Amino acid sequence: MSNIMLLTAILIGVAGQIFLKIGSLAMANLKPNSLNYFLNGNLWFGLFLYGVSTIFYIIALQKIPLSIAYPTISISYIFVVILSSIIFKEKIDITQILGILLIMSGVFLIWKK
């Protein structure tokens, strides 16, 4: 059950990151002022998702050692790279692919013990 909580925390955090990006893109053509930031629903929703993600993470930490849980969050980078290429049409280069493979290897080694 704690593994599911950790994975849920990771996935919700990834969604939060995507909404922050969407919100930031909406801000690109506006003059930067605090009112624009307060009125941007995507930014608020992204921050809300980060908060929800934190709650799931705290629940997961009750059973999973921090030395395993915290490095595992790095798989969120993999999901963000993949979703960024799909949603925002960002290019993935060979360096990013190698980085993803290293992250996957590291998380596998941490959980294999």
- Write down the domain spans for the chain: 2-112
SS (H, E, C) the chain: CHHHHHHHHHHHHHHHHHHHHHHHHHHCCCCCCHHHHHCCHHHHHHHHHHHHHHHHHHHHHCCCCHHHHHHHCCHHHHHHHHHHHHHCCCCCCHHHHHHHHHHHHHHHHHHHC
pLDDT recorded at residue 32:
67
Write down the pTM of the prediction: 0.88
Radius of gyration of the chain (CA): 16
pLDDT recorded at residue 104:
93
Q: Which stretches of the chain drop beneath a pLDDT of 50?
A: none
pLDDT recorded at residue 34:
66
